[in-house]
Amino acid sequence: MENKENKKQEKKKTKKFNFKELFTDEKKRARLILLVYFVFFVVLIITMRINYNYENDDIANQINHPADEKLAMNNYEFTYTITKGTKKYIYSGKHYNEKEMFVYNKNTYYKENDLVLKQEEKDWVKVNNPYVEYEYIKLENIDKILEKSNFISQTKYKDGSVLNSYKMYIDQKISENVLNITSKNEKLIKIEILFENKTIILEFSNIGNVVDFNI
């Protein structure tokens, strides 16, 4: 009896793996299928996470670069259009370092840092800053908002321009307000800030070609 039992145990130990049983044995086939699905989903999740991190890092680099380059040049012509309800405010002019010369409501203004002068015939008179929503006109403020805003989408156009859209970071949280930034040839050309009750559009041109000026 002992010899028979020993032989049975030896047969179990020496029994070789039969690959065909994976397809003929229902239990083994079910286990194989579960294993394949498990491996597939693990690989899929890892791949998606890697792609997500790469794409977001790449997009962040693309969107920050034009704004940083723009601030570094600090030399451009501009048109700012602010719409609040039925009222529209339009400013057009040029910017060189800390100085601006612009026209608003048919009046000419000169701005240097916090000093604002308005031209009245042959004289320049000190006045209050005529910009509305000035905090959203200053590029350094927009750059700070951009750093913490959430990316939504990117659109590439045939002319080579690239539009990146963000949900804005305001009041210590991500809001539903949208920030659109358009660049072309690695230069910032347009910023759109879309609130529920107002729209701010900043357009830039002749970047790097404005000559120094004084009054």
User: What is the residue extent of each domain of the chain?
Assistant: 51-205
Give the model's pLDDT for residue 145. 85
CB-CB neighbours of 170 under 10 Å: 16
- DSSP conformation letters of 14-38: HPPP-TTHHHH-HHHHHHHHHHHHH
Q: What is the pLDDT of residues 25-73, one digit of tens each?
A: 666 667 767 777 777 777 777 766 655 444 554 544 444 444 443 444 6
Q: Which of 157, 211, 158 is nearest to 182 (CA)?
A: 157
pTM of the model: 0.67
Give the model's pLDDT for residue 38. 75
Whether the predicted pLDDT of 123 surpasses 90: yes
- Burial track 144-163 (b if 16+ CB lie within 10 A, e otherwise): ebbeebeeeeeeeeeeeebe
**Which residue matches tokens 């790469």?**
54
Looking at mean pLDDT, say which of 67-76, 87-96, 134-143 comes out highest.
87-96
In angstroms, the CA 6 to CA 21 distance is 26
In angstroms, the CA 149 to CA 174 distance is 7
Q: 51-205 architecture in CATH?
A: Clam (2.50)
Q: What is the mean pLDDT of residues 97-116?
A: 96
The per-residue pLDDT of the chain, averaged, comes to 81
